[in-house]
Amino acid sequence: MESSTIMQTKPLRRSRGPCLIVAAALCAGAGRAEAFDVDDRRALWFVVNDLCRPMQRLLGSPRPCLKVDLAHGFVVLRAPGETTQVLIAPTARIAGIESPAILKEGAPNLWALAWAERNRVAASAPRPLQWDDVGMAVNSRLGRSQDQLHIHVDCVDARLKRALAAHAFRPTPNWAPLDPGPWGNRYRVKYIAAAGLEKNIFKMVAEEIPGAKARMARQAIAVVGVGAKDDRGFAVLASSEGGGHAEELLDHACAPGK
CATH number of the domain where residue 52 is located: 3.30.428.30
- Render pLDDT for 117-140 as a digit per residue (tens, 0 to 9): 999 999 999 999 999 999 999 999
User: CA distances (Å), 179 to each of 150, 175, 189, 238, 244, in order?
Assistant: 28, 12, 9, 13, 18
Average of per-residue pLDDT across 48-62: 96
- Render pLDDT for 138-165 as a digit per residue (tens, 0 to 9): 999 999 999 999 999 999 999 999 889 8
CA distance 116 to 233: 14
Would you say residue 156 lies in a domain?
Answer: yes
Would you say residue 256 lies in a domain?
Answer: no
| Contacts of 171 by beta carbon, 8 Å cutoff, 6+ apart | 191, 192, 193, 196, 233
Average of per-residue pLDDT across 93-101: 97
Least confident stretch, 56-70, 86-100, 177-191, 205-219 = 177-191
| pLDDT at residue 239, rounded to an integer | 93
CA distance 222 to 62: 27
| pLDDT at residue 180, rounded to an integer | 62
- Render pLDDT for 1-24 as a digit per residue (tens, 0 to 9): 333 222 333 333 333 333 333 344
- The boundaries of the domain holding residue 214 are 18-251
Would you say residue 113 lies in a domain?
Answer: yes
- Render pLDDT for 200-239 as a digit per residue (tens, 0 to 9): 999 999 999 999 999 999 999 999 999 987 889 999 999 9
Average of per-residue pLDDT across 58-65: 96
Phi, psi (degrees; rounded to nearest 5) at 209? -100, 120
| pLDDT at residue 42, rounded to an integer | 94
Would you say residue 141 lies in a domain?
Answer: yes
Task: Check if the beta carbon of residue 211 is closer than 8 Å to that of residue 229.
Answer: no
100: pLDDT confidence band, cut at 50, 70 and 90?
A: very high
Angle at CA of residue 206, ends 201 and 207, nearest 5°: 100
Domains in the chain, number: 1
Comparing CA positions, the residue from 251, 257, 242 lying closest to residue 84 is 251
DSSP state of 13: P
Would you say residue 9 lies in a domain?
Answer: no
| pLDDT at residue 29, rounded to an integer | 35
Would you say residue 8 lies in a domain?
Answer: no
Would you say residue 105 lies in a domain?
Answer: yes
Would you say residue 48 lies in a domain?
Answer: yes
